[in-house]
Amino acid sequence: MIDFTDKVVLITGGGSGLGRAAALAIAKQGAKLVLVDMNKEALEESKTEILEAAQNAAVELVEANVTNEEEVQKYVQFTVDTFGKIDGFFNNAGIEGKQNLTEDYGSDEFQKVISVNLNGVFYGMKYVLKVMKKQGYGSIVNTASVGGIRGVGNQSGYAASKHGVVGLTRNSGIEYGQYGISINAIAPGAIMTPMVEGSLKQMAGDNWEAAGQEFVSVNPMKRFGKPEEVGNLVAFLLSDSSRFINATVVNIDGGQSYK
């Protein structure tokens, strides 16, 4: 039974895609939420959707950049000051970066992707763990990717960052299990979010929907995942129903990784 009554959940990348979907799933089960994103308008849209779905939800918005350690420290403190604790943390904001062969992959692009997807996740864990250790409980879900557990090609920065997220997850999971804290990663395959829609449009222009169908024709389920399917998984992993799952990576990819 997934119940977030009186629980406080912090979500980064809460303005779009997987972050918004998780926020919706968790808000419907009664949680108080702090959503962080660098896109203010997207945050406002998330809040509107959440309040339509869960009228009494308590939702605070913070415009911030996960690559800025001081800002991370501030929104973690804001969550504690506002709601008194942090039960769950969906450490999720990320970018894809431009695709290219390794030899042509821009060094600036590499640093940029690492900075958001890996440094951002590290800063988030660092400050949230200080709070959760004092509490003696908590759950963290870091967003990795299929590209964090196997090679996908043309994505040096993304693959390195997401493999790094898996490493951070396993390392910290075994450190903090003793304090009643579980830390896991999710490895989504292709989920139809604005990020994926954007890269399909970049590749195929007006033919992006057909290109998308072609792309998922190799998936055992022959379709994209839905954001709400990932949102439900995150809700489970952040809930009290999954407390003994720790330091692991949960694939949500229609079986693609084992094909």
Pick one of 26, 38, 54, 57: the residue that binds ligand NAD (CB under 6 A): 38
- Dmax (CA) for the chain in angstroms is 52
Q: Which is nearer to ligand NAD, 3 or 221 (CB)?
A: 221
Q: Which is nearer to ligand NAD, 71 or 240 (CB)?
A: 71
Binding of ligand NAD at residue 193 (CB under 6 A)? yes
Task: For the CB of residue 68, give the shortest distance to ligand NAD in the complex, in Å.
Answer: 8
Binding of ligand NAD at residue 154 (CB under 6 A)? no
Instruction: Map the footprint of ligand NAD across residues 201-230, applying CB under 6 A.
Output: none
Quick one: residue 138, left, alpha or beta (phi over 0 = left, psi -120 to 50 = alpha)?
Answer: left
Binding of ligand NAD at residue 93 (CB under 6 A)? yes
Q: Which is nearer to ligand NAD, 29 or 219 (CB)?
A: 219
Binding of ligand NAD at residue 164 (CB under 6 A)? no
Q: Is 158 a catalytic residue?
A: yes
Catalytic residues: 158
Site for ligand NAD, rule CB under 6 A: 13, 15-19, 37-39, 42, 65-67, 92-95, 116, 120, 143, 145, 188, 190-191, 193-196
